[in-house]
Amino acid sequence: MISGSALHGSPLVQARNNPAFSLYLELLKRSLTNTLFETEPDANLAEEDAWRFVPEFKRHYMEGSAVSMLPLARLENIQQCVLEAIERDVPGDLIETGVWRGGATIFMRGILKALDIRDRDVWVADSFEGLPTPDPVKYPLEAKVYHGPVMKDAFQHLAASLELVKRNFAAYELLDEQVRFLKGWFKDTLPIAPIGRLAVIRLDGDTITNRPWTPSKTCMTSFRLADS
């Protein structure tokens, strides 16, 4: 591991090129996405094959062992942002709002752990109860999808309990005092969360009724990744 006090300039460049460091992150990404022995569902199927995506998605993620439903390309993006924030000495913690089984935040913590960085926390914000029920008057389309068979039966409203997410962190030996959980709806928890500054922010609010807040405790150089 590399000392947190020596993570500027060439030492971090050395970490990027360190085979053990690179191998750990690659194995972590593939384990979290259940792609060690399988391939991730293809969202870019030809029109005549598009019907296959939902059952493949359900099999791979909802019924499988994946801890993240992010494609590998998005975890790569998180990795690039976290490493660049460290390299450029952007102050602040890391956060994901909407974590499902915790995969992306486990990956964030894994990067910090591998580099022995002890002055940044990872914030894990979610209801841990699935998606909120949309207002059918304000958001009729979302309400229809929410109560439909795909979201209700196949995807189970993307619910994953706090206990399950903590268990997943523990399975990777990454559950410690640098992991901070925020349980509840974003509109209630995020405005009053005891967060200092944020260097990397991944926003993943799945419905209009539960959109994440606009962070104020960031730097001009912070990385913001939005997904919905």
- Please identify every residue annotated as catalytic: 76
Asked whether the beta carbons of 208 and 84 are under 8 A apart, the reply is no
Encode 48-70: b = buried (16+ Cβ within 10 Å), e = exposed: eeeeeeeebbbebbeeeebbbbb
List Cβ neighbours of 153 (8 Å cut-off, separation of 6 or more): none
43, burial (CB in 10 Å: exposed 0-12, middle 13-18, buried 19+): exposed
User: Which residue in the block uniquely carries the two structure tokens 């559950």?
Assistant: 175
User: Which residue in the block uniquely carries the two structure tokens 């060439």?
Assistant: 10
List Cβ neighbours of 227 (8 Å cut-off, separation of 6 or more): 70, 74, 98, 202, 203, 204
Query: In sequence order, what DSSP letters do the residues of 19-72 get, joined into one string?
Result: HHHHHHHHHHHHHHTT-SSS----TT--GGGGGGHHHHHIIIIISS--S--S-H
196, burial (CB in 10 Å: exposed 0-12, middle 13-18, buried 19+): exposed
